[in-house]
Structure 1
Amino acid sequence: MNTRRRMIPVAAGVAALAVTGCAPAEPVACPLIAYMSTLEIVVDVPAAEDVLICHDDLCAPSREASDAGVTVFPAVVDGDVWTFTGQFPQDMTIEVYDAASELLTSTAVDPDWRRTGGTEECGGPTEASVTVRV
């Protein structure tokens, strides 16, 4: 038998070992849930009465129905800290309004999201904090 023909099964075995050595030990099964995230906004703006999270010129939570590409529940307000829970876009603008619905400031933010649960493979809830000033 030719030396080349004897090497084919050996080469195939080595290739199979190399490929299977790269596969994970067990597949990861992630839950099919939408995790909620928490965004804390410190509003250092006198006379602030309303805070909106905007993306692509659409804002939420809004006084009017809109599809902002973001699902946000009304904020819990504690002094100057507005805490929103929902699903947020990565790039967003925070708009702050006074009692007369006049825009006081519009600030682009890029929150530093930190995972607070779940796993690296499957993701999980996150939280971030930003400050908005005039």
Structure 2
Amino acid sequence: MKRLHGIALVMILASGTAGCATPGVCPAIGWSNSVTVILDGRVDAVAEVQLCADGKCSIRPQPTTAPKATVTPSAEAAPGRAIPAAPATPGTPVGGTEYSPYFGRKVDDRTWQFSAPMRAPKRATVRALDAGGEVLAQRDVELTWTRVGGSEQCGGPATAGPVSLSLP
């Protein structure tokens, strides 16, 4: 009899918690969308490619020369001991650079990849710059985003492009 009471109690508790997994609730996570730019023409003078949208242009984070600090649990708990700052994240000024929600990286001489954390601008300008910052080529584009993860209800990472940029 005790066994039956125990099973009944487990079933009652299980049915009471089943509603906790509410359908239609999205997890609290973020993602980064990406745009690929392909250069066409002579790329030997290109030092930087930028994606500009919403009044901001991408930056290319500079590698840090500072050694990586590690924090042990005892170091965190020690009173009066500073915990090292987190590494730069999107929107953080890097090397005195203005805040930017867009980051770019050179994949190879003709391909550049841009990330747009939690953003999907409809229009952008892509431009190639020489080492002195002079614009070699520029193009305004409309971006069409295709979701590549997540769900329709909750969203998820998306890609746009590739966008081509012709150089003289």
Structure 1 residue 97: Cα displacement: 0.3
Partner residue, 2:47: 49
Would you say 1:130 and 2:128 are equivalent positions? no
Distance 1:56 1:117 in 2: 24
Residue 127 of structure 2 corresponds to residue 95 of structure 1:
yes
Task: State the secondary structure of the residue aligned to 1:114.
Answer: strand
Match runs of 1:54-73 below 5 Å: 54-61=52-59, 65-68=97-100, 71-73=101-103
Offset of 1:55 from its aligned partner?
2.3
Question: Which residue matches 1:80?
Answer: 110
| 1:49 shift after superposition | 1.4
Cα contact 1:60–1:66 (8 A) shared by 2: no
TM superposition outliers: structure 1 runs of 4+ over 6 Å:
none
- RMSD, aligned α-carbons: 2.2
| Identity percentage of aligned residues | 31
What is the TM-score of this pair, normalised by structure 1?
0.68
Q: Which runs of 5+ in 2 are unaligned?
A: 1-21, 61-94
1:63-116: CA deviations, max 9, x gaps? 862244xx2233132230111223342211112101222111221111221110
**Structure 1 segment 98-117 matched on structure 2, within 5 A:** 98-117=130-149
TM (norm. structure 2) is 0.55
Tell me how many residue pairs correspond in the alignment: 107
In the TM superposition, residue 56 of structure 1 has moved relative to its aligned partner by 4.5
Structure 1 distance, partners of 2:41, 2:133, is 14
With a CA cutoff of 8 Å and minimum separation of 6, indicate the structure with the bigger relative contact order: 2
Unmatched tracts of structure 1, length 5 or more: 1-25
2:151 paired with 1:119: yes
* Structure 1 residues 131 and 72, CA gap change in structure 2 (3 angstroms): same
